[in-house]
Chains A and B, each alone.
Chain A
Amino acid sequence: MREEEARERAQRAVEIAMALGASDAEARIVLARRFSTAARAERITKLDLSEGRNLSMRLFLDGRKATLVGTHWSDDEIRSGVATALEQARYVGVDAFAGLPEAREITDVDLDLYDREIEERRDEDRLDDVRQVERAIRETDPRIDNSNGSYYNDACVTMALANSRGVLGSYRGTQVAISASPVASEGAYKRTAHYGSAARYLSRIDTPAEIAREAVRRTVVFYGARKPKTAATAILFDREVAAAVLEDIFAACSAANVAIGNSWLAGRSGERIGSELVDIVDDGTIPGALGSSPFDAEGTPSQRTPVFERGILRSFLFDAYYARRLGARSTGNAVAGGIGPNTFFLAPGRANLEDVIASTKQGILVLETIGFATEHASGLYSRGARGIAIRNGELAEPVEEFTIAAPFPEILAGIDAVANDLKFDGSIASPSFRVAEMQVSGSSSAP
């Protein structure tokens, strides 16, 4: 019912834009029913039950592009927004590459994106989940004496897209996420960590008890942490921070950055850049994955794109605009406002994380990074970090208040172990991996 309504509004918005003089137009409608709740101690502290709707349009006027985003819904609201946007488009430069993608058929594949159990879930069960997480973090370890709150969110989303070249598509998807953020006092300091799980299906998310246990482990592990010595050493990225490293690699693979020279990978297609263990893929077709969808934000059907194969750079990731500019074909990576991942991931290895630790003579298992300093043009990675020192294959003391840094080509070439712990719990995912050597800046070296 609502899917029909979304399709009708998207088509109607395109008609209005064409009637007002656009040479081409595209409209996307997102309808979402969101449930968001938080608990602290035994109390529900937040309950947000909203149904939202949003229109996003791209309007083309003889090679000039304008966008319109907002709460426009009625014909009159859409007409007024489109008229203003088209007026603004007159001041945009003509760009021969601007325009809708070549129409490709959207096949009706079932990607297993919608969980009816989430749609039909009783509010009381949702509240129980978040209360359980909050109770479990305190029961798991007596050192946990406070909490930044535990969270449960779910959403049922309907997406419809129409354009003036006759493309019309829609799909529905669900998502659910649960997280915990325990606090433990250590002197004046409060030790905190955050851990969560997300999936399209309720049955595939970690249980409240598992989430609580992992969040607590990540909190208390840092008791007594010290600053490590400044040195070059092996860095083992735990899977969550490994995924954050992949976010930067994604940015360098995005054709939007490549086209303007803002990527250290620009001009290096076909070159060996990573080690033999580096297989990186963008895939919009993995059944049930959070990053999957039948088509991207401009209606290009989703596909699987090998990005690195055994360390060799095979492909950048494109929307229709940058594909035209760089003489390639869209890889189905258009998102609202640019190029984004479907599921962008590093292929897992065979070893358990424990085995990778055991094979590390000296290094740091990095559990958290903060900051977002990446010069995509030069490809230098630098982050604040916390983790656990590894000595002679065993986890030793916790360490914090240091930075890790290395140029990205050295990071990719230096990957010498990849674990088997990949989980598709976000649109960028990674198993844990080890880089043979990175610069750690901590306290001054001993004299």
Chain B
Amino acid sequence: MDEPFTAQSAQRILDRALRDGGLFADIFCERRSSVRMSLQEGAIHEAALSQNYGAGVRVVVGESAGYAYSEDISEERLLEAAARAAAIARLTAEGGSRSAHLGTLERSNDGLYDRNRSENAAPRILAALLERTESAARDSDAKIVGVNAHVVDELQEIWIARSDGSFRSDRRPMVTLGVQCIARLGNERGTGYCADGGRTSVAFFESMTPEQIARESARIALVNLDARPAPAGEFETLLGAGGGGVLLHEAVGHGLEGDFNRQGVSLYSGRIGERVASELVTIYDDGDIPEERGSTSFDDEGTPCGHTVLVEGGILRGYLHDELNARLMGMNSTGNGRRQSFRHLPQPRMCNTYMPPGDAHLEEMIASIENGIYAKSFAGGQVNIGKGDFVFMIAEGYRIERGRLGAAVKNATIVGNGPDAMTKVTAVGNDARLARRHYTCGKGGQSVPVGVGMPTLKISAMSLGGTEGA
């Protein structure tokens, strides 16, 4: 691949960035090309091509960062960006003028994902995937009256040059196929959604076929067609394996991000070594699971990604760090410095967050509940970091009555408090798995792809927000 700049040129830009007293500087250059095709009402209705190429220069001094980006990556423009980013050092100067000593470019070459592709998938292939998805969804049941599907193929090439000498590049692929089904019978409607993909190519859909994804979406739509309005009140709750991991991500993971903890604004601040959850709870974040959405060889600061123990047997073990927050806390970056694009500063973010299996069987957990809810999967969630309060929307859920699965519930929201829920975990299933790969996390106005996973969890009490009085 052709390089955006030589090591010599990057060195000059970094030297300019550091000239006014910065402690550290980096250049993040990105070339991203994404094709999205979508199908609606039986026909492919749009092809969208997005191509972005640019670079940002960052200067760090103390806990402050200066930043400037440019869509013109000539050395002249990047030197100007470096000078603008260096303004932060002039404001908070800790003195001194440093210079960079850049090594030679190192290209990632591990087995985490395929780096051989230099072009997006052919539109003919994407169109064929959508057509197969749509016909499988429609053929699955006469009550499926609407199908919306999309497929995205993306390639991101990045180059990161750091003033401490590292100069790395990587090529990260990503594909996603998603389908929403609408089922109708009389005036009743139900919707279902299913998506899958990962850091791979469209060849992924040879093993996980569009037909399988379409039928799963249709199945959920039919379940929701039959669903009753959710009751309101507190219930013993089972959180589903795989997709239930959204709860770990929102309710615990965000609270363990290094920026919130360094600033002392998370309820987990200063609590490493303390009990923060039931002894049944263990949570990891990994950036090196092959082809997962949150995986990268190195993060968006050029730091290698690995395995981070967050909670082990209910004890808080660690935080998720980028370089800036790790340095200020006297720790090492865990390779969780991530950014949406060259237009953004990195932040500590999760990669793939999951809980390993316990020993309970799903059937036994259901049988043990007199009056409860089985929240099998979620449509999304949100959390308040300081207090840990969260909400989740249930995408597929059922009542549990006298130890048996009952009617499906529709339009239900689970509301609770993360740390509180983690102390109320009373059983952990033996069915741990990673969720289907389609999750995106938002923080501070930036979106990044993530992975989640979990075994079935039993929680002694959670609030269900419904419309029916208890």
Contacts and interface: CB of A to CB of B under 8 A. Distances in A.
A148 interface: yes
A405 B467 contact: yes
Nearest to B64: A45
Contact of B413 (A148, A188, A189, A405): A405
Contact of A403 (B35, B410, B463): B463
A401 B416 contact: yes
B68 A48 contact: yes
Contact of A382 (B37, B92, B465): B465
Interface string A351-381: 0000000000000000000111101011010
Interface stretch (A8-16, A90-98, A274-282): A90-98
B241 to A, nearest CB: 22
B165 to A, nearest CB: 25
A69 B36 CA distance: 12
Given A66-B46, A401-B416, A444 B470 contact: yes
Contacts of A123: 87
Given A91-B47, A92-B44, A384-B390, A48 B384 contact: no
A192 B469 contact: no
A198 interface: no
Contacts of A121: none
Interface residues of A, number: 77
Contacts of A221: none
Contact of A148 (B68, B148, B265, B412): B265
B62 A43 contact: yes
A42 to B, nearest CB: 10
B41 interface: yes
A439 B87 contact: no
A50 B69 CA distance: 6
A444 B81 CA distance: 57
A127 B64 CA distance: 13
Contact of A405 (B40, B51, B466, B470): B466
Most buried by B among A91, A127, A402, A445: A91
A88 interface: yes
B465 A384 contact: yes
A124 to B, nearest CB: 10
A378 B224 CA distance: 12
B48 interface: yes
Most buried by A among B85, B265, B345, B379: B265
A271 B379 CA distance: 32
B125 to A, nearest CB: 10
B54 interface: yes
B387 A95 contact: no
A40 interface: yes
A51 B189 CA distance: 47
Contacts of B233: 230, 441, 444-445
6 contacts: A50-B84, A372-B393, A380-B467, A384-B390, A403-B463, A441-B470
Task: Please name the 3 residue pairs, one residue from A and one from B, whose CB atoms are nearest each other, closest first.
Answer: A403-B465, A190-B386, A93-B43
Interface of B: 35, 37, 40-41, 43-54, 56, 62-72, 81, 84-85, 87-88, 91-92, 123-124, 126-127, 146, 148, 182, 189, 191, 232-234, 263-267, 269, 343, 345, 379-393, 410-413, 415-417, 463-470
Given A73-B72, A183-B265, 14 more contacts: A43-B63, A47-B64, A49-B66, A65-B46, A69-B51, A147-B265, A189-B386, A192-B387, A378-B189, A382-B393, A382-B466, A383-B465, A402-B465, A445-B233
